[in-house]
Structure 1
Amino acid sequence: MTYQTYEPPRGSVDPLAVALGNATLFGIGYVLLRRWRPAAIAVLGSAVLLDLTATTADSRYEILLLLWWAAGTAHGWFLARRSPEHAVRLGQRAGTLALALAVVLTAALLRVDAYRIENRVTEARESGDCETAVAAQGEVWWGHRLAGAPVVEPGDAVVRACHRLAGAASTLARAARTGSTEDLGRGFGTLAEVLNDGPGNEPTVRAALDTFLDALPTDDSCDTAALTAWLRDRGRSHDVLDRSADAAARTEPAALVGCGDHLLAEDAWPQAREHYQQLLDTYPDDPRTAEARGGVRKATLAIELAEVRGLVDDTSDASSGYCAEPAKYSGAPPHRKGSGRALFLGDSEYTDRLPRSWRTGDPAKAALVVCAGEAENGAAVETCRYENKKSRYLPHQVTFHKVKIPVKVYELRTGKRLDPRSVQIGGSSCPSVLRYEYYMYDLGPGDQFVSTSKSAVRDAFRPVVGR
């Protein structure tokens, strides 16, 4: 028996080898057929579709790429079958099979790895861990995008969101350091935008928000009060950002009292009172309300006293300053008969002769404010006849009057005006010699005041000051 060995003719191609060659997406089957134009078209078409798939992450291009792959494989098979020089060539089959398997297995492994990476990204995002999510997505390279761009594309969105959240966290941290409500508003605006980009961002937004809220209260109570007031007034958005309201309610009361105390020590009394009052209005059941009410009273007294001091400093006569616009100082001593001192303003010719125990220059120690006007003629006491030494034939009739001083008396504690409206100081009249300045046409000295003494001044003002 004789055996013969079959050898395919040289230049023949194996249809299966051609199909496997085209399955590599690089047109190797067309090269085996020596069809250079289809080979170039195959390479160019595969390159374009791969680029579109990787850059757009659109599943439609993946489908087109799969169809392109199937069409090229089938087209190579049919062209080789129609060739008159086709035959089984094991060497060609082995080579193209190895290349096709390498391409397919590489693509499959890369796609599986892409799913693994994206699962880690998803788990990290769901736990609010942006750092881990960004690190996991950092493992993606161009091979993953060629083999599974739609798989890794959501991870890119997570990274973008995390970068925006990092910026928001930085802005919120700066707000916590400086008390800037502008930075606080910008930070919350970014959080809201990221949250609205997709419900899957809620855990990472919550994590960024909690980092800021955990920093409250800050070291500066006034900064904390400003930040928590903004959070309280933000209004509800019915999402995770509403967690800030609970943080505000937890930290604002202490911040309001602490800031009020600080402002009170800095003599910023209106602002201090505003902070104390905010606590009373917003948190009436807080255990610090008694402290806040005490702060309101201290600030109010300081404001009133400052206003009184300013009016007193502006007083030049009985019709200016405090005498024109009286104000109350609730911390003034009560006006009681037999005690208390008065602050005398206006004309001081006679009031300066009152006992020191009746007077005070400090508004904080006065029970009364007495505004004294210029002296004028009061009740007539006596009329006497005087002769001029140089003209005995021109006698003068001189009437002596009590010294009448118009007064405005105010109870400092209430700012209300009290009686009397004037006082009259008595004294001696008709001295034996009356000296006065005269001129060429002398008409006489005119009416005169009685001669007063300290005791007379004291007796006149005694009813005014309640002594």
Structure 2
Amino acid sequence: MTRPPDGEPEYPKYPEHPEHPEYPEAEYPGPDWPPPVPREPRDPDPLAVAVGNASLLGAGYLIMGRRGLFWVAAAVTASLLWLTYTTAGTWCELLVVLWWAAVVAHGWWLARRNPAAGPRRGQRVLALALALPVLVSAGWLRFDAHEIEDAVAGARERGDCADAAAAQDGVGFRHRLTAAPVVARGDTVIEACERLDTAAGELNVGLNGDLDSLESGFGRLGAVLGESGNERTVAATLDRFLAGLPTDDGCLTVRIADWLRDRETGPKALTAPAFATSARIAPGALMECGDALMTDEEWANARDRYQRLLDEHPDDGHADKARKGIRKADLAIQLGRVRELVAAADGMSTGYCEKPAKYSAAPAYRKGKSRAVFVGDTEYTDKLPEGWRADTPDAALVVCTGGTEAGDVVETCQYQDHRGNIGSVRFNKLAVPVKAYALRTGKLVIDRKVQMGGESCPGLLRYFDELPSRMAVTPSKADVRDAFGPVVGR
């Protein structure tokens, strides 16, 4: 069959359905169709094909009418772009560039092989219309990705993770598809900032006294610092933590300051600021902690804090207050010890009477004007006037008294017992061993026996069983006062 002048093939018309009986409908062979005519490739313009393929969309192959190559190129391009998106590797971008160059060269070469190849304006306009938007968009997105990367890097240089995160938030899927390695560098910065946020949270927990959290936080800072470019962000995180010191609790601050001072492991960029901060906050914290412990009556611990302040920071402005605090704590410790011993003294060989102690703030012992604390056997000292007594801090003496003994004979009297027999009964003074200690020094100032007189030879003598040969007088309050007066200088 020949092609007519207009270029279209001539096909036979459909034969009409036969009406002759010799052609039953079921046996009608149908029209005699000619074999299909294959579509011939278009006459290509090599430049248009190359430009079309430069879009990485396989448009050049479509211009040539090579649909199979178009789908193969599209599949390979999509695979390479997805690989670049998921791995963010520079080598993947290199593969994309090589593939781009390959499809451009292959399209040019394939089009040049066609005998009818030549310039065609329509194809060039179409190829340019397809390739130009793709290439311009890809170039603009890569430029924008680099701008975002520069903003993130600048924020990191300033130590500002918040600004870095705000800049990286501008990254979208389009940037990751066209400039994955560039975007990945920003992701690395944000990942480091997230780790620093975790470290900052642990350090803040450490401000409440959890030293394990401090250790973990500093460990994270060291790990991030070990990665190049993070020096400023790590320093900013550390500075924010250190700016939270001292805390409102002096004793807690002392613990943290000690931990910072004793931390010897880790990069110098972390240990040096920590040590400097410890030196800055320790004196005030030790003073504040000592005062708080004094309020809680933990005298020994308070004294330890004041003494540490003097030992470790002798030239600090708190030194004079620390000395006064030590003096006050010492007195409180002495007073506590004296009170404990006085409370335990129920005889001449117990408590204060056994182990006398001093209270340096007690009044000086002066005869005639000293008041005393009476301990031991207080059967008779309880009858002494209130003006002779004082509580432990205000007393000048601690007077220890033992049990009564028979003193000097006062009088001997005759009595008739229940059987009618006459017998003699001697009446003795009551002798009491006494030791008095000057409370200010804890030294013994009086060691003797006092004897109390009293009523003797009563008209009616009460006794059990046999008439006793010796009995003690019955002292009055005046007799007790007269006996003990010389002890306290009265």
2:246 and 2:455 mapped to 1: Cα distance? 77
Residue 364 of structure 1 corresponds to 393
Residue 90 of structure 2 corresponds to 59
Larger radius of gyration: 2
Q: Is the 8 A contact 2:77 2:96 kept in 1?
A: yes
1:461 and 1:157 mapped to 2: Cα distance? 90
1:52 and 1:414 mapped to 2: Cα distance? 90
Task: State whether structure 2 residue 178 is matched by structure 1 residue 159.
Answer: no
The amino acid of 2:315's aligned partner reads D
Q: Is the 8 A contact 2:56 2:77 kept in 1?
A: yes
Task: State whether structure 2 residue 414 is matched by structure 1 residue 386.
Answer: yes
2:221 and 2:365 mapped to 1: Cα distance? 61
1:336 and 1:233 mapped to 2: Cα distance? 53
1:307 and 1:433 mapped to 2: Cα distance? 50
Task: State whether structure 2 residue 243 is matched by structure 1 residue 251.
Answer: no
1:317 and 1:37 mapped to 2: Cα distance? 117
2:231 and 2:185 mapped to 1: Cα distance? 15
Shift of 1:288: 1.4
The amino acid of 1:41's aligned partner reads V
Structure 1 residues 232-243: aligned runs within 5 Å: 232-235=261-264, 237=266, 238-243=268-273
Q: Is the 8 A contact 1:381 1:429 kept in 2?
A: no
2:163 and 2:322 mapped to 1: Cα distance? 46
Residue 404 of structure 2 corresponds to 375
2:455 and 2:137 mapped to 1: Cα distance? 129
2:216 and 2:443 mapped to 1: Cα distance? 51
Residue 413 of structure 1 corresponds to 440
SS of the residue corresponding to residue 374 of structure 2 reads strand
**Distance verdict in 2 for CA 1:13–1:446, change over 3 Å:** farther
SS of the residue corresponding to residue 272 of structure 1 reads helix
Aligned residues with identical type, % of pairs: 48
Match among 441, 449, 459 for residue 472 of structure 2: 449
**Distance verdict in 2 for CA 1:136–1:457, change over 3 Å:** same
Residue 150 of structure 1 corresponds to 181
The amino acid of 1:437's aligned partner reads Y
Shift of 1:13: 2.2
Residue 289 of structure 1 corresponds to 319
Residue 201 of structure 1 corresponds to 230
Match among 166, 169, 172 for residue 141 of structure 1: 172
Residue 329 of structure 1 corresponds to 359
1:228 and 1:267 mapped to 2: Cα distance? 24
Residue 336 of structure 2 corresponds to 306
- 1:417-465 C-alpha deviation (Å, 9 max, x unpaired): 5652x51315368626461222xxx322243224445565445445644
- 1:337-356 C-alpha deviation (Å, 9 max, x unpaired): 44422101232222123344
Residue 404 of structure 1 corresponds to 431
Q: Is the 8 A contact 1:401 1:450 kept in 2?
A: yes
Structure 1 unaligned residues grouped into runs of 5+:
1-8
Q: Is the 8 A contact 2:415 2:425 kept in 1?
A: no
Structure 1 residues 257-272: aligned runs within 5 Å: 257-272=287-302
1:338 and 1:390 mapped to 2: Cα distance? 49
Residue 12 of structure 1 corresponds to 43
Mean alpha-carbon deviation: is it higher for 85-94 or for 48-57? 85-94
**Distance verdict in 2 for CA 1:48–1:304, change over 3 Å:** farther
Task: State whether structure 2 residue 380 is matched by structure 1 residue 350.
Answer: yes
Shift of 1:53: 1.5
Residue 242 of structure 2 corresponds to 213
Structure 2 unaligned residues grouped into runs of 5+:
1-39
* Cα root mean square deviation, aligned: 3.3
**Distance verdict in 2 for CA 1:341–1:102, change over 3 Å:** same
Q: Is the 8 A contact 1:58 1:150 kept in 2?
A: yes
2:374 and 2:396 mapped to 1: Cα distance? 11
1:391 and 1:274 mapped to 2: Cα distance? 75
Residue 431 of structure 1 corresponds to 457
Residue 26 of structure 1 corresponds to 57
Q: Is the 8 A contact 1:370 1:407 kept in 2?
A: yes
1:326 and 1:43 mapped to 2: Cα distance? 102
Mean alpha-carbon deviation: is it higher for 308-317 or for 95-104? 308-317
TM-score normalised over the length of structure 2: 0.79
